[in-house]
Structure 1
C-alpha cells in the first residue's frame, strides 16, 4: 500500500476484506454502498478508485465483483472471461462445465460434463473446481440467471449466508444457506420461490460446493 488511507477508505477496505473472508468473494458496489451508508453505488465506486490509486486493491473492469487484493492468489488473472458460448476446448483442460446432473451420481461424473472452459481456476477466490449451468430463476434477484455459469469451489464447509450447490434427495439446487441447529433452510433469491426446509435428523443434505462467481450466459462477462 503506497499511501495511507483516509478513515472512510479504511472502512471500505475493511468491509471488502471481511466480505471476502466471510463469503469467499468480494462485495458489489451496491453492497458496499448499503453497508456503509453511501447514497449510491457511484459513491462506493469513487472510494474503490481511490483505494486502487493507493495500491490497496486492484479493480478488474466491467465486472460486478471485480475487486482483488494485491497479495490475493489469482490477482493477475485476465480481466474478462472467455465467452461462454465461444470458449469450447477440444481437450480436457480448463474448468469442466456441468449440465444436467443425474440422480445419485457424482456431480463431476464424466457424463455430466458438457465441455471445458479454458478459464484458470485461480480466476476466482477461492479457486473454482467447476462451472455449473444454472437452471431456472430462483436466484435472479442477486443476478444469477437462467443459462449463467456458476463457478463453484468444492467444499463441504459452509457458512450462513453463502450461496451453495446442495444435493437434496438426488436433486441439485443453488440456494443461499442458513442453519439453526439441525434445521437447514435453503433460501431462494426470488419471492416467487418458497424456502426449502431440511431437518438433518431425518433428511439427507449434501453440500457440493459454494458459489464463488458467475459467468453471464453467452456474454463472456465474469462476475467474479
Structure 2
C-alpha cells in the first residue's frame, strides 16, 4: 500500500505522461508539485524500490511506470488508458549514444512516432559514431531499443545500450568473461573495451530491436 504522498507522486507522473507523451523531468516536478530535487529523488527512489517505477541511469525523462503502478492507479480511479485509435505511438527519444569511444550523451526531451511499438517498452537514441557500421547501424541514424529490467544479463553478442559508470553510455555487442564485461564494436578500427565490474558498474539500458531510422527520415 502506497502512502498518500507517494500515491500523489505516481498520479502526477501518469497524468503528465498522458498530457505530454513523455515522463516529467526534475524541473517539471519542481514547477508542478513545488518540491525540491532532494524530495523528488527520495520519492522516485521509494517508488523504484517498491516496484512502481523504473528508470535508466544517466538519462533524463527515462522514468517508466510498471504494471504494479498501473494497477494502483486503476484501484484509486486515476488511471487513464492510452488512445488506441491512433496507430502511431510516441516512443521516448532519450538523446545520443556513442557508437565509438565512451562519452557522456547529450540530453533531449523529445519523442518519436513509430507504429506498433509499445512506448512503455521501447525508447530511441541517436547514434554518434561509426563503431557499429558492420551491423548496419550508421552514424546519425536513430536506433530503437527495448527496455530491460534492472540487472538484465544480455546473451553473448547481443547489441545493447550499456551505461558505464563514470563514462557514459555506449552501443556495443555484450560479452562476459568472469567478472569482466567486454563491449565489442562491429568495426575493426575500435578495440574491445574490457571493464572490471568489481571497480566499475555496467548497467544495461536496453537491447537493440534491429530497427534503425536513417538520418533525415
1 or 2 for the larger relative contact order (CA 8 Å, sep ≥6)? 1
TM-score, with structure 1 as normaliser: 0.48
